[in-house]
């Protein structure tokens, strides 16, 4: 199979194919079984190179090597990653950029720096519970029906309160409500061993 180089004449498919040869990320993706990407080689017209493309969506999409994604484009003065993400990609050597000397870092120095950095991590202290009393309206003691606030996750346009619900009994700190009349009827039928109503 060959790829049409005239589809996007501004792309140098032969150069992309040459740069794919040494790309470790492409080698990892090709050998990985945990991806939906399907890579196939395509012949580039006018070149002896093969271009690896992802064909999982039905059209061949060339794999762009990391060196291309991190390279600064002179006309734009930024890399493709900066155009997409707003910041440059970190290449593996740049993660330790603050304490790398002469491009070489010793294992002991790296481990010391890592340990000292991790030891400075602090956990957030747990939130202390509020000891404030809740406001309870005095009319709640004599109310026959009440609304109940739903504090959990709500769907869009869902009301914050459910009800009104009939109050069955009250005691200090507790109110027994009827939230589903069918369940109450079923409960009473079982409790008093009454025959079920026929419709």
Mean pLDDT of the chain: 74
Section 143-152 average pLDDT: 82
Q: What is the pLDDT of residues 43-68, one digit of tens each?
A: 887 777 888 888 888 888 888 888 77
Is pLDDT above 70 for 197? Answer: no
Dist CA 147 CA 170 (whole Å): 15
| φ, ψ dihedrals at 53, nearest 5° | -130, 150
Strands (E), 154-194: 161-171, 174-178
For residue 194, what is the DSSP state? P
Contact 14, 44 (CB under 8 A): yes
Question: Half-sphere exposure of 170 toward its Cβ, with a 13 Å CA cutoff?
Answer: 11
- Supply the pLDDT for residue 43: 83
Least confident of 25-39, 116-130, 139-153, 168-182: 168-182
Distance CA 49, CA 41 (A): 10
Structure tokens at 25: 């990320």
Give the model's confidence band at 168: pLDDT under 50 very low, under 70 low, under 90 confident, else very high: confident
pLDDT score for 189 = 59
Separation of alpha carbons 92 and 103, rounded Å: 12
Pick the closest to residue 75 from 67, 83, 86 (CA basis). 83
| Residue 76 in this model has a pLDDT that exceeds 70 | yes
- 154 pLDDT tier (thresholds 50, 70, 90): confident
pLDDT for 187 equals 58
Q: What is the pLDDT of residue 100?
A: 52
Query: Could you tell me which of 197, 137, 141 has the C-alpha nearest to residue 167?
Result: 141
User: Would the pLDDT of 91 be above 60?
Assistant: no
What is the distance between the alpha carbons of residues 76 and 142, in angstroms, rounded to a whole number?
73
30 against 179, higher pLDDT? 30
């Amino acid at each position: 199979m060959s790829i049409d180089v005239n589809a996007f004449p501004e792309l140098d498919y032969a150069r992309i194919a040459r740069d794919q040869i040494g790309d470790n990320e492409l080698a990892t993706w090709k050998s990985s079984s945990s991806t939906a990407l399907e890579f196939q080689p395509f012949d580039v017209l006018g070149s002896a190179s093969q271009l690896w493309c992802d064909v999982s969506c039905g059209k061949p999409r060339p794999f762009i090597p990391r060196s291309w994604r991190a390279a600064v484009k002179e006309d734009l003065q930024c890399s493709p990653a900066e155009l997409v993400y707003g910041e440059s990609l970190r290449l593996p050597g740049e993660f330790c950029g603050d304490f790398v000397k002469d491009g070489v870092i010793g294992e002991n120095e790296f481990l010391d720096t890592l340990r000292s950095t991790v030891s400075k991590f602090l956990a957030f202290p747990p939130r202390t519970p509020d000891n404030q009393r809740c406001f309870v309206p005095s009319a709640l003691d004599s109310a026959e029906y009440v609304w109940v606030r739903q504090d959990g996750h709500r769907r869009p346009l869902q009301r914050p309160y459910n009800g009104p619900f009939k109050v069955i009994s009250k005691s200090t700190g507790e109110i027994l409500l009827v939230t589903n009349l069918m369940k109450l009827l079923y409960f009473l039928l079982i409790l008093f061993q009454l025959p079920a109503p026929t419709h």
